[in-house]
Chains A and B, each alone.
Chain A
Amino acid sequence: GNSVTQMEGPVTLSEEAFLTINCTYTATGYPSLFWYVQYPGEGLQLLLKATKADDKGSNKGFEATYRKETTSFHLEKGSVQVSDSAVYFCALGQYSSASKIIFGSGTRLSIRP
């Protein structure tokens, strides 16, 4: 069945460091891929998405490229800020009998000033 695997956290970085959070998926066909972010005490918000191979999603300095050959959708940011501290979820969207959107387990990111 479909699945999403993302790197375990927590991830702790210093401000202005380069960020990569790995995400790989298993699916048949051509799913849509998403990154959602959850700030403390809040619900999830869409950060970026890509709907076909080689698409790059970007928002707020974050980027992720849909790589079908490696079944990956890694999240990157060149220079993180304290305000980026949150939990990040990789997700896959594809019609199936039981689940519409499958979420990874989440990666907690903490940024030190």
Chain B
Amino acid sequence: NAGVTQTPKFQVLKTGQSMTLQCAQDMNHEYMSWYRQDPGMGLRLIHYSVGAGITDQGEVPNGYNVSRSTTEDFPLRLLSAAPSQTSVYFCASSSDESGYSYEQYFGPGTRLTVT
């Protein structure tokens, strides 16, 4: 099992550019989520999904879109990047479809810089 994979590992964008952060898992987990990690603030939930075709907003969803067409993939889209979106992004998955009582498995992260 590869677990949770994320691409790219590093990305630099100019303000206003768009891009998609890729996330895939091979554990057949229903629950997937995206977090951003900023210094001194822990991880904050951006969007999550409890299964294919179902997504919902987390704590900080503005500026980000998601979709879940398959169980395996959960891409995160930035439509118009802003410097405030400079952060490290983590994708996670869990076998618990409610997402809050079981272990979450994290990908290695994508470090994004917006200039």
Contacts and interface: CB of A to CB of B under 8 A. Distances in A.
Contact of A98 (B33, B59, B106): B59
B30 to A, nearest CB: 13
Interface stretch (A13-21, A64-72, A73-81, A101-109): A101-109
Interface majority SS (helix, strand, loop, mixed), chain A = loop
A103 B36 CA distance: 11
Interface residues of B, number: 25
A4 B42 CA distance: 10
B90 interface: yes
Given A43-B107, A43-B109, A99 B101 contact: no
A93 B98 CA distance: 10
A98 B61 CA distance: 10
A101 B42 contact: no
B45 A42 contact: no
The CB with the most chain A CB atoms within 10 A, among B35, B43, B48, B59, is that of B43
A89 B101 contact: no
Contacts of B103: 34, 46, 49
Contacts of B108: 41-43
A51 interface: yes
A101 B45 contact: yes
Contacts of B58: 98-100
Given A43-B106, A100-B99, 10 more contacts: A41-B108, A44-B104, A46-B103, A46-B104, A49-B103, A51-B101, A93-B100, A94-B100, A100-B45, A103-B44
Interface of B: 4, 33, 35, 40-45, 48, 57-59, 90, 92, 98-101, 103-104, 106-109
Interface of A: 4, 31-32, 34, 41-46, 49, 51, 89, 93-95, 98-101, 103-106
